[in-house]
Every structure is written in structure tokens, then in C-alpha cells.
Amino acid sequence: MFIFASFLLLIVSTSFAVYFLIRGFSYFFIYRDPASMWINITAPLIVLFVCVAITCIIAYYIIQPFDSVVRRVRKGGEKPSDAEKNKCLAAYRKIAVLLFASNFVGFFLGQIIVVLLRKSPNPVFSSMIHIIVTIVYSVSAGSMAAGIEILGLNEILVPYRKMLEIHTVESFNERKAFRFATSTYLMFFISMFYVCINIAVVPFGLIYQLQTSSHRNAIGTFLSEVGIASIFALVPPMIIMRIVLNGFSKRIDENIKRVHDIANNGDLTSRLNLAMMDDYGSLSGAINVLIKQLSLMFKDLKNDTDVVSETSDILTEVTDSAQSALSGMIEAFKSIDSDSKSRNELIYTANKDVDDLIQDVEVVKTHILEQTSAIQENSASITQMSSNIASVAEMTRKADEVSTLLTQTSSKGNNAINSAITSIEQIQSMSHEVQGIVKIIQKIASQTNLLSMNAAIEAAHAGSMGQGFAVVADEVRSLASSSAKSAKDIQEKIKEMVAKIDGGVEAIAVAGRSFREIEENVDHTNALIRTISSAMEEQMVGASETLRTTNDMVSAIQAIKDLTEHESVRAANVRKTMKDVVASSEAAVKLVAEGVSASEVMSTAIEQVVDSVGSNRRAVSSMNDAVKIFKV
């Protein structure tokens, strides 16, 4: 009943005050009969009371839903629904229409009823012009009363409308009131109409009185009455303007306070509760929408800044870890670079050593080939010498046979024997020479055997050095040449001996008689020949052994040659591999250098990232501090 009680007080006080204003103004300035003001006042009061009562009854049913919502909100703090808000807003519009209609009916039709019911002997009250002026003045005063009541009720409803917590006009477009400018223009027009009527009534009554009777000091009376009328004419418009401007000022102050709260305290949780559904209410609703959007924006911004802050912390940890890891990686790269350079130098040294080894292998290979050729030549010489010794042995065997024949034929004659003795003596001389040659051959064989042993020993060492082998080979070739020359001398001497023996045989044949003389020496010759034959056989055995040893040495040298060729191939492969290793090492050194350079660039980039993260973190911290001010 809060709203209805306020409405009842407002309409009763305003209606009766305006009624007495109209009645007094009419009797003082229109009819100019103040003494009759209180005569026949009962009927007009009854009409006024009936109009006010009917208006209040209708208003009660209109206001009752609004009152019930207000009571429930005050009692339990329950928020009204949109339907209830619509009913409350509709109630205000209906009350405004009711007030305008009741004032029009009461002060227009009611004034006509009062005129019709009025009974007065004064003919002025029956004058049509006075009745029309009175009705026009009553309508202007009623309009002012309606404006005061509507605006007053609007101000009364401000706190109750705020309880509805209406934040935007757009949600209730059907209940939107007139624009503020339109309502202001309308009230200004009504006020000016009322003022003009009030000012015009005074000269109208005074002129009418001057036409019917004389009046002293009419100008003074006019001025004083105009002053009084002006006061009564200006008070209601001033009340209206006061109500309008006061409400407008309050709403402006409330919006300013709300904006200051946002600016100073950052409170984005509360909203402006709309007091009126006019265009200024639309402005307040737009401010509420702005506050809501700001609240959502700051809420999202707060969430985003929290996420960014967390991300910044994570990014800081990651960049710190990355920076530490990169520092370790740079140190590792530098260590690898140093090791790679050292290893590269070692590889270059090893490559040079491999090249030197390959050259040494080639030199050894050349020496082995030369030694192989020399040994083969020596083997051929020894083979030839062995063949020569065999020939000598064969010839001594034949000499032995000849000696036997000489023994058998020694009986042919002393002359022949004498000749044979001479020949045999020559043969003996030759045999001595042959013995010398044989000794030389034996010496050669002995030395050859010794040299062969030395050659075998040197061959055992040929795998590492093999230098003394060439000297031995030269000596063997020299001895082989000497052996060949001696064998040739032996052959020539033997030929001469054969020739002389043949001569001796012929002499013995011619002088058989003289053969007896040489018979005694035949045995000695046979012994010598056997000795030569035995020596030749021993020399053959030594030559065969030397030949076998030489062949073994040739086989060993051939094996060494094959091994040397195999090692040469392996050395070539090693050289190729070392070249690949050198190339790979150079590429590795280059890549490591590039890695060091890239790591340094990355380190610089990470330092920039760390600086950016720090700046970002400071910015986020500042943003968080700024956002924390606002309550969302």
C-alpha cells in the first residue's frame, strides 16, 4: 500500500488545492465577487470528491500489482520477473492516463456541472463569456494539476521502480515513455498556456467591471492584480520545473556517481536501476550495457592475463632451461670443435704416415722384384754350374774307362807305353791343373753354400728391411760367374787332356811295347780319376743342395712378392679410406663450426626471448594490477 497511499495523498492534496485556486481566482479576477466565494461551495466540493474517489478506486486496482511486487521485494528480497516488471511499468502508464483523464473530466466537465448548478442573483455568473473564460481557466489549471500529479507520482515511483532492477529500456520497449524533450515541451506548452490565461484573466475582469461601473485608480488596481495573478501563474510551472529538473538532476548525479565508482573503485558488478523509461532511461540503460560489456571484457581480460601470466611463468622456466641447455650445448660444441680440430690434425698426420708407408711399400716391392730377378738369375747360374759339374763327372768316368782300357792294352808294347807314359805324364800334369780347378770349384761351392745360408738368413729378415739381401745376391752372382768361368776352363783343359790321351792311345797303339812302362802309372791315374770323379759327385751333391736352397729362396721371395703386392693393394685401400676419413673429418669440423655459430645465434635469440618474456611479464603484472581494481 506504499504506492497507493502516496498516490492518494498526492491526488487529494493537488486536486483540492487546485480547486480552491481556480475558485478563488475566478471569484477574485473573473467575476470580481470575492464575497460569494464560499456561497454554494458544497455542490462543487461534492463533485470534486466524487471525481477524486472514483479516480482513487480505479487507481487502487491499477497500482495494487505494483504494490504487491514492492511488498514482496521488501520482505524477502526476491527479484521480480519480467512479467511483473511489465505489469508495474504498465501500471504507471495507466495511472498517467487516469490522472490526465480525471483532471480533464473533473476540471472541464466538473466546471460545467458547477456552472449549471450555480444559483446566484449576480448576472455576471450567468454571462456566457464569463462561463467560457472560467472553463478555459479551469482547463489550464487542471492541465497544470495533471502535470504536477503525473510528475509528482513519477518522482514518488522512482525508488519503487529501482526495486524492479530494470537495467535496459530495450527489454521493455512497449512500456517506454515519451521522450524527455517531448514531455518537457508539452509541460512547457501547458505552463505557458496556464500563465497566459492567468495574466489575461486580470484585464478581462477589470475591463468588464469598468464597462458596467466606474472604478477609481484602475491602473493601480490592474498592476496590483497582475502582480498577484503573476505569482499564482508562476508558482505551478515553477513546481513542475522543479520536479522535472530535480528528477533529472538526481538521475544525472546518480549516473555521475556510478561512473565515478567505476573510475575510482573499479566496481563493475552493480548496475543503474532505471527510474524512468524515457530517453534518459535509454541512456542509463546504454551505460548499463557498457558496464556489462566492460565487466565481461575485464573478466575475459583478467582470465586472459592470468593465463598469460601462467604462460609467462612457464615460458620463463622454459627459456631458462633452454638457455642453460644451450649454454651446455655451446660448451659441448666448443669442446667437440677443439677435439675435432685435434683429431683432424691427427688424421692429417696419419694420412701422411699412410702415404709414407705406401711409398715404403712400393720401394720394398721394387726391391723384392729386383731380388726376385737376381735370385732367378742366380738359380739359373747354379743350374748351369750343376750341369757343368755333371759333365765333368761324366768325363772323369769316361777317363776312368779309358784308364781301364789303357791297363788292358798296356801290354801292346813298350814303345807305345813309353809314348803313353809321356802322354800320361802330360795327362798327370793336366790332372794337377784339373785338381786346382776342382779345388777352386770346391771353394766356390763351399762359399756358395755359405752364401746360400746367409741368403736364407737375410731372406728371413727381408720382411722388415731386406737390404742385405741385394749384397748377398751380388756375391752369389759373382761366385756364379767365377764358377762358370772355372767350369769353362775345366772343360777346355779336359778337352786338351782328352786330345792328349787320344794321342797317348795312338802312341800306345803304335808302340805297344812301350805300354808296359806306363802300366805302373795307370793305377795311379785311375786313382786320380776316381778321386776327381768322387770330388765331382760331391760337388754335384753340393750344387744340387745349393740349387734346392736357391729354389726355396725363390719360392720365399715369390711369397714375399705376393704378400708385398697384397699389402700394396691394402695400402691403396687404406689410403682411399684415409682420404675419406680426412674428408669426413673436414666436413665434421665444418659442421661443428657451423653448429657453434648456430648455437651462438640461438643463444642470442634466446636472450632476446628472455628479455621479451621479462618485458611481457612486467606488462602482464601491470595489467593484472590494473585489472584487479575492477570488480567483475
Cell numbers standing for residue 268: 563493475
Q: Are residues 197 and 346 in the same domain?
A: no
- Which of 268, 290, 321 is where one domain is finished? 268
Q: Are residues 237 and 368 in the same domain?
A: no
Cell numbers standing for residue 493: 783343359
Give residue 342's identity as a one-letter amino acid code.
Answer: S
Domain around 547: 341-623
Instruction: Tell me the C-alpha to C-alpha distance, in Å, between residue 89 and each of 80, 164, 170, 363, 468.
Output: 12, 10, 13, 121, 133
CATH of the domain at 385: 1.10.287
- Which of 268, 288, 306 is where one domain is finished? 268
Alpha carbon 486 to chain centroid, angstroms: 98
Residue 308 belongs to some domain of the structure:
no
Q: For residues 513 and 450, is the Cβ–Cβ distance under 8 A?
A: no
Instruction: Give the integer Cα–Cα distance in Å for 563 and 580.
Output: 25
- In the block, which residue shows the cell 755359405? 450
Cell numbers standing for residue 388: 757343368
- In the block, which residue shows the cell 691394402? 570
Give the dihedral sign, CA 426/431/434/439: negative
Q: Are residues 502 and 600 in the same domain?
A: yes
**pLDDT beyond 60 at 469:** no
Q: How many CB atoms lie within 10 A of CB 502?
A: 12
Cell numbers standing for residue 238: 515553477
Residue 299, pLDDT score: 72
What's the average model confidence in pLDDT over 212-237? 68
Q: Are residues 73 and 218 in the same domain?
A: yes
Q: Are residues 387 and 257 in the same domain?
A: no
**Lowest mean pLDDT segment, chosen from 195-204, 462-471, 577-586:** 462-471
Residue 309 belongs to some domain of the structure:
no
Alpha carbon 240 to chain centroid, angstroms: 71
Residue 307 belongs to some domain of the structure:
no
Q: Which residues pair with 513 in a beta bridge?
A: 413
Cell numbers standing for residue 117: 448548478
Residue 631 belongs to some domain of the structure:
no
pLDDT in tens, 99-155: 888 888 887 887 777 767 665 555 555 567 777 877 888 888 888 888 888 878 877
Residue 185, pLDDT score: 74
Residue 343, pLDDT score: 64
Alpha carbon 442 to chain centroid, angstroms: 96
Q: Are residues 234 and 349 in the same domain?
A: no
- 274 three-state secondary structure: coil
Q: Are residues 257 and 364 in the same domain?
A: no
Q: Are residues 403 and 262 in the same domain?
A: no
The mean predicted confidence, pLDDT, of the chain is: 70
Considering only residues 600 and 126, tell me which one the structure prediction assigns the higher pLDDT.
Answer: 600
Residue 426 belongs to some domain of the structure:
yes
Residue 553 belongs to some domain of the structure:
yes
Q: 110-117 vs 128-163: helix axis angle to the nearest 10?
A: 140
Q: For residues 547 and 383, is the Cβ–Cβ distance under 8 A?
A: yes
What's the average model confidence in pLDDT over 538-551? 68
Instruction: Give the integer Cα–Cα distance in Å for 114 and 123.
Output: 16
Instruction: Categorize the per-residue pLDDT at 168 as very low, low, confident or very high, splitting at 50, 70 and 90.
Output: low
What's the average model confidence in pLDDT over 201-227? 64
**pLDDT beyond 80 at 201:** no
Q: Are residues 351 and 463 in the same domain?
A: yes
Cell numbers standing for residue 118: 450555480
Residue 116 belongs to some domain of the structure:
yes
Instruction: Give the integer Cα–Cα distance in Å for 399 and 422.
Output: 17
Q: How many CB atoms lie within 10 A of CB 224?
A: 12
| Closest by Cα among 287, 425, 365, 410 to 558 | 365
Q: For residues 508 and 514, is the Cβ–Cβ distance under 8 A?
A: yes
Q: Are residues 367 and 483 in the same domain?
A: yes
User: What is the DSSP secondary-structure string of 358-376?
Assistant: HHHHHHHHHHHHHHHHHHH
Q: Are residues 264 and 348 in the same domain?
A: no
pLDDT in tens, 379-397: 666 676 667 666 766 766 6
- Which of 268, 287, 319 is where one domain is finished? 268
What's the average model confidence in pLDDT over 261-265? 69
Q: What do you get for the CA distance between the two ends of the chain, in Å?
A: 37
What's the average model confidence in pLDDT over 606-612? 71
Residue 487, pLDDT score: 57
User: What is the domain count for the chain?
Assistant: 2
Q: Are residues 263 and 401 in the same domain?
A: no
Residue 293 belongs to some domain of the structure:
no
Q: Would the pTM of this model clear 0.85, i.e. be above it?
A: no
**Percent of the chain scoring above 90 in pLDDT:** 1
